[in-house]
Amino acid sequence: MNLKNADILSIDQFEKADIAEIFSVAAAMEPYAHREKITRVLEGAILGNIFFEPSTRTRMSFATSFQRLGGAVYEVADLSSTSLVKGESLYDTSRVMENYVDLFVVRHPTQGAVQDFAKATSRPLISGGDGTGEHPTQALLDLYTIMKEQDRSFDQLDGLSIAMVGDLKHGRTVHSLTKLLSLFKNIRFTWIAPEALKMPDSILEEARQLGHHVHQTEDFKMGIAKADVIYMTRLQEERFTSKEEARLHRGRYSLNRRTYEQCCSPKTLILHPLPRDQRANEIDMDLNDHPALGIFRQAANGIPIRMALFAMILDVYPFK
Ligand code: CP
């Protein structure tokens, strides 16, 4: 796949070979990500980093990645700071902003809005999270992290056992990660969620039809036993119509050191796309210094992955 000028909107657009290519470029970006080497290949280019929904990691790591490649970043971190509040459409916003930037990253709370923004512009656009839909670049960095942390080659991902825990209905990261892992063979998905927050049927059916093993349960300890990877997630309280309903589920699943050591092999990797909600304690602070806790290294891996995407989309890799 040639990513030159491509949009990145969904994992559905990728084949397995595309992922191998992105990871290979990401590996080449590592010394630049850590400033062991310097490049200015994107000097003069401007990224429109447009976030209509809160973000710490995704917005900052996209900005850092672009700047590590020598580009400049124009930031919108709040819908209320744009003329959308004066009644301007998303279409007009996209058409106008494209005059000021070379490429967009867009996050929006409404599923489908990122696609609408992309359709309106001739500039390439990377989704930074599309409501309850997908978060494709998070899935890429998650899988890259699993490979690095468990020292697996691309071919050694077949047969991976992963427990995804929490709000699987609204969690766009687990939707994208399921689709991404489904490109491999014989993945063992254990989805641990309350009945009301189960993985959407469309994603479940897709994984089953591709021959993967899917098990759904509300039993946390049973579900995480035998997993190679535990992927905890936050209750997406902002997606609920009623705060009371959301609070019914808050704190339902919490992983601490004792549970981890009781139920899991010491090789089981603990991931979370973050933020972890300290009111709900999805991952207890007593795991902060545990070697199995990969969450901060996972967040750091957003840099080489996002640098790779920028370099491929803006066609500056290999560097001259
Ligand atoms: N993982 C993630 O999307 O985090 P942010 O919401 O902070 O960007």
Those residues whose C-beta lies under 8 Å from the C-beta of residue 167, and which sit 6 or more positions away, are 193, 197, 233, 234, 235, 236, 239, 249
Residue nearest to atom 6 of ligand 1 (CA): 55
DSSP state of 81: G
What distance in angstroms lies between residue 49's CA and the mean position of ligand 1's atoms?
Answer: 14
What distance in angstroms lies between residue 32's CA and the mean position of ligand 1's atoms?
Answer: 22
Please report the atom of ligand 1 found closest to the CA of residue 61.
8
Domain ranges across the chain: 11-134+301-313, 136-299
Residues in the chain: 320
Residue 109: φ, ψ to 5°: -75, -20
Residue nearest to atom 5 of ligand 1 (CA): 55
Catalytic residues: 57-58, 86, 107, 135
Residue nearest to atom 1 of ligand 1 (CA): 273
**What CATH topology corresponds to 11-134+301-313?**
Rossmann fold (3.40.50)
Pocket probe mutation, ligand 1, options 55, 62, 134, 298, max atoms within 8 Å of Cβ = 55
pTM equals 0.97
Angle at 133 between CA 192 and CA 317, to 5 degrees: 110
CATH of domain 136-299: 3.40.50.1370
Strand order of the β-sheet with 125-130 is 72-76, 46-51, 103-108, 125-130
> pLDDT tens digits, the chain, 320 residues: what are they?
799 999 999 999 999 999 999 999 999 999 999 999 999 999 999 999 999 999 999 999 999 999 999 999 999 998 888 999 999 999 999 999 999 999 999 999 999 999 999 999 999 999 999 999 999 999 999 999 999 999 999 999 999 999 999 999 999 999 999 999 999 999 999 999 999 999 999 999 999 999 999 999 999 999 999 999 999 999 999 999 888 988 899 999 999 999 999 999 999 999 999 999 999 999 999 999 999 999 999 999 999 999 999 999 999 999 98
Is 136-299 in the same CATH topology as 11-134+301-313? yes
Residues 65, 307 contacting (CB under 8 angstroms): yes
Which H or E element spans position 215? strand 213-217
